[in-house]
């Protein structure tokens, strides 16, 4: 059985954790597959949005500990988890976690590492680490305080409580709660809208927001100025203005179009 399913449709790449017999707990093979798949998605310009989800009615029950501790030193095992976390967080396209069922431990933190989270009412979440005599990984110690504040982050991490989808939404850990029968259509519509966006502008916006919490206002303004320069160098800005004037939907490509470049320009303009 393939541990990670990869599907492409209309610019949206879906990665499905496919170990339903273990509630999609991530073993060594799946960690490696995720690292390879996320790296490939970041390099593929045809990918305009990415969905991370799980098979069999669960999202992910965390790292697979069913085989106990291996002889490999944890330092080496953690390198792969670190790679996956950074690749997901820094992916230059919008990412959506579609959560049905459990999302606990590293599995929940992978969902939180996505830009948007769609959950069904039966989704359940837990920072389970302390129950296993461990501390958070996959970015949980960094993400939780930024999303819910320090006190609630400590509550979730220290007590390892299980919360439902509505409480997760109230804590800003879930973006939408959608009925199970509608979640696929909802996610498809959401990612279609993201995939239709200007790819360079979306990438710049995502990076600015991710970096903003660590910057002073002066640094953020300098970053915004650099991002806008990159945006104005694309054909998408011209297309956006033309679409607005023509009262039509814009078609964005992310093509380079600076003075003297023929990219994104018609034959009449060259």
In this structure, are 139 and 244 located in the same domain? Answer: no
In this structure, are 37 and 167 located in the same domain? Answer: yes
Q: What was the pLDDT predicted at 261? A: 52
Q: Residue 222 sits in a domain of what CATH number? A: 1.10.12.10
Instruction: Compute, in degrees rounded to 10, the torsion defined by CA atoms 12, 108, 77, 15.
Output: -20
In this structure, are 214 and 151 located in the same domain? Answer: no
User: CB of 158 within 8 A of CB of 128?
Assistant: no
Per the structure, how many domains does the chain have? 2
Q: What was the pLDDT predicted at 197? A: 97
User: CB of 115 within 8 A of CB of 203?
Assistant: no
Q: Is 77 exposed, middle or buried (0-12, 13-18, 19+ CB in 10 A)?
A: middle
In this structure, are 119 and 52 located in the same domain? Answer: yes
Q: What was the pLDDT predicted at 1? A: 85
Predicted structure pTM score: 0.91
Q: What was the pLDDT predicted at 67? A: 66
128-131, long-range: CB < 8 A, 24+ apart: 128/62, 128/104, 128/160, 129/105, 129/157, 129/160, 130/157, 130/158, 130/159, 130/160, 131/160
User: CB of 256 within 8 A of CB of 264?
Assistant: yes
141-146, long-range: CB < 8 A, 24+ apart: 143/109, 143/112, 143/113, 144/112, 146/213
Choose one of 147, 165, 195: the last residue of a domain: 195
- The neighbouring-strand residues paired with 116 are 96
Count how many Cα atoms sit within 13 Å of the Cα of residue 211 in the half-sphere of its side chain.
Answer: 18
In this structure, are 18 and 92 located in the same domain? Answer: yes
In this structure, are 82 and 8 located in the same domain? Answer: yes
Q: Residue 85 sits in a domain of what CATH number? A: 3.90.226.10
In this structure, are 247 and 140 located in the same domain? Answer: no
Choose one of 195, 211, 246: the last residue of a domain: 195
In this structure, are 94 and 179 located in the same domain? Answer: yes
| Beta carbons within 8 Å of 265's beta carbon, 6+ residues apart | 235, 257
Residues spanned by the domain of 160: 4-195
Q: What was the pLDDT predicted at 266? A: 44
In this structure, are 62 and 191 located in the same domain? Answer: yes
Only one residue has tokens 């045809």, namely 46
Residues with pLDDT less than 50, the chain: 263-270
In this structure, are 191 and 238 located in the same domain? Answer: no
In this structure, are 97 and 228 located in the same domain? Answer: no
Choose one of 179, 195, 211: the last residue of a domain: 195
In this structure, are 151 and 256 located in the same domain? Answer: no
């Amino acid at each position: 059985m393939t541990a990670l399913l990869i599907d492409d449709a209309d610019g949206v790449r879906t990665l499905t954790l496919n170990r339903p017999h273990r509630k999609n707990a991530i073993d060594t093979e799946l960690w490696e597959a995720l690292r390879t798949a996320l790296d490939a998605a970041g390099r593929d310009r045809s990918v305009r949005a990415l969905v991370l989800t799980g098979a069999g009615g669960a999202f992910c029950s965390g790292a697979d500990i069913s085989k106990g501790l291996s002889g490999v030193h944890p330092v080496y095992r953690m390198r792969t988890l670190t790679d996956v976390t950074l690749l997901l967080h820094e992916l230059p396209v919008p990412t959506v976690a579609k959560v049905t069922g459990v999302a606990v431990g590293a599995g929940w933190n992978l969902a939180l590492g996505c830009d948007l989270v769609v959950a069904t009412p039966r989704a359940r979440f837990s920072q389970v680490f302390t129950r296993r005599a461990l501390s958070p990984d996959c970015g949980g110690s960094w993400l939780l305080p930024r999303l819910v504040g320090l006190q609630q982050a400590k509550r979730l991490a220290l007590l390892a409580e299980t919360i439902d989808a509505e409480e997760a939404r109230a804590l800003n850990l879930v973006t939408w709660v959608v009925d199970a029968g509608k979640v696929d259509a909802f996610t498809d519509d959401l990612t279609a809208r993201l995939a239709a966006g200007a790819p360079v502008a979306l990438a710049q916006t995502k990076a600015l927001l991710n970096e903003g919490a660590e910057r002073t206002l002066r640094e953020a303004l300098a970053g915004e100025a650099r991002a806008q320069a990159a945006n104005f160098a694309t054909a998408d800005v011209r297309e956006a203005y033309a679409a607005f004037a023509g009262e039509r939907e814009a078609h964005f490509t992310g093509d380079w179009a600076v003075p003297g470049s023929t990219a994104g320009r018609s034959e009449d303009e060259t």
